[in-house]
Structure 1
Amino acid sequence: MRGVIPALVVPVWRTLPWRTLGAAGAAGLLTAGLPRLLGREGGGPLALNLLRAAALALALGLAFLLDDPARHGTAPVPTGRAARAALRVALVAPVAALWWTAVLLLVPGPVRPPAGDVTLEAGAACALAVAGAAVAVRRTDAPCPGWPVAAALLAAAVLAPLLLPDDWALFVGPRDPRWPAAHARWAWLLAAAVAVGALSLREPLPHRAPRPPRTG
């Protein structure tokens, strides 16, 4: 196994949806840097909303991370699905971290919201996207479930501020007294997404053939 994983790095790297991820990353950078492009600094609420929009753009791109048009042809390989999916995540994670650092730096320091808390939000959104993709891969035979997962994630991001009660609000401002509690909920969302994603990466148990009825 130790020798197989390094041998898979280049093939897996080539099969990653770099075009989709690149488009999502470019959209996020453009969103975060919009005030600079317009020559305006913008206020704190605007900067926070732009950072959240940039994080959502990346999460939507990551919904396609496990898309594999050759999924059914590559299923019987010795590494197993969990190892291949984990390798995809491991290859993309450093790139995503550098991208997010650039996004944060595009926002001027005086109006930048607490970086750690906003990073927690972004991490939870990205983890939810990958977990949704993992669940879709496990539950369906679709080789490319990215579109339905991205649509569900976008719908959740739009509907959550409208449907969640005030006591469970997630999208609040730094000056809102609910900010610490909201980010405790973000942390729980991140942990739940990681757990669900990890469990969904396991190989499904083989179906047992039904036992013939007893005679006599």
Structure 2
Amino acid sequence: MRELTRADATRREGRGLVRELAAPVCRTVPWRALAGGNLLGLLAAAVPRLSGGAGGPWVALALLRAAVLAHALALAFLLDDPARHTTAAVPVRRPLRVALRLALVAPVTALWWTAALLLVPSSVRPPAGAVTLEAAATCALALAGAALAVRLADEPRPGPSVAAALLFTAFLTVLLWPERWPLFCSPGDPKWGEAHERWAWLLAGALLVLGVCLREPVRGRAWRRGRRPSLSPSGA
């Protein structure tokens, strides 16, 4: 009974902590960058409807992929935090802070993606499940890049660099990806299913990198060796 009471108290304390953190974390989310990326994405997705489905399914798919890239570029800014060096000292671990950001943005992303799909006329709309897998993998890659930048560098706003790297990588992938392992296929292509198996692997790899990079970094080699740095000017 006592253990149950302690568990309940721990859960209540955790829920209280999340409620207290929700508002401050919400203020640090880069909503303007997300709004800009979402707007550009919706404009791209709306082109087939505005043009009466001109260009056919291939053009609609290409524009949906462009819309996803616009949203992913916005997600690259999600972990930007001007007060990063201040919040690093608080007793709330990074995984919880990042999880709160993701929880705030996930419903927005889901609504945005639903709207983007519905904007494409049904006559030229690609298979929703397969293209949603592509969207999830692209967004996960953007988040993994942001988490990796936060993990490896002390820059409080790595978003611009991550977004530029993501855009450059997407450009190189389209140009240089081996044809024998196709990634960007059309729905009528016989390799459509194989391509989306690769998208699934990309999604799994990105989520793995994201999970690993959410751990708190160990600061300083002296700390990793179990020694405290000397306070004397000579270092003795």
Normalised TM-score (structure 2): 0.86
- 1:95, distance to aligned residue in structure 2 (A): 0.7
Conserved? CA contact 1:161–1:169, under 8 Å: no
**2:58 aligned with 1:40:** no
2:117 to 104, 108, 114: 104
What amino acid is aligned across from residue 11 of structure 1 in structure 2?
P
Distance (whole Å) between structure 1 residues aligned to residue 205 and residue 178 of structure 2:
20
**Identical pairs, percent:** 61
- Aligned with 2:180: secondary structure? helix
- 1:161, distance to aligned residue in structure 2 (A): 2.0
Distance (whole Å) between structure 2 residues aligned to residue 208 and residue 138 of structure 1:
15
**2:180 aligned with 1:147:** no
- 1:35, distance to aligned residue in structure 2 (A): 2.8
**2:47 aligned with 1:27:** no
Conserved? CA contact 1:66–1:134, under 8 Å: yes
Conserved? CA contact 1:64–1:144, under 8 Å: yes
What amino acid is aligned across from residue 40 of structure 1 in structure 2?
G
What amino acid is aligned across from residue 142 of structure 2 in structure 1?
A
Distance (whole Å) between structure 2 residues aligned to residue 127 and residue 205 of structure 1:
25
Higher RCO structure (Cα 8 Å, ≥6 apart): 1
Match of 1:15 in 2: 28
Question: In terms of mean alpha carbon deviation, does 164-173 or 129-138 score higher?
Answer: 164-173
- 1:162, distance to aligned residue in structure 2 (A): 1.5
Normalised TM-score (structure 1): 0.94
What amino acid is aligned across from residue 41 of structure 1 in structure 2?
G
Match of 1:185 in 2: 198
2:138 to 116, 120, 125: 125
Conserved? CA contact 1:60–1:129, under 8 Å: yes
Aligned Cα RMSD in Å?
Answer: 1.4
Tell me, which stretches of 5 or more residues in structure 1 are unaligned? none
Distance (whole Å) between structure 1 residues aligned to residue 113 and residue 75 of structure 2:
13
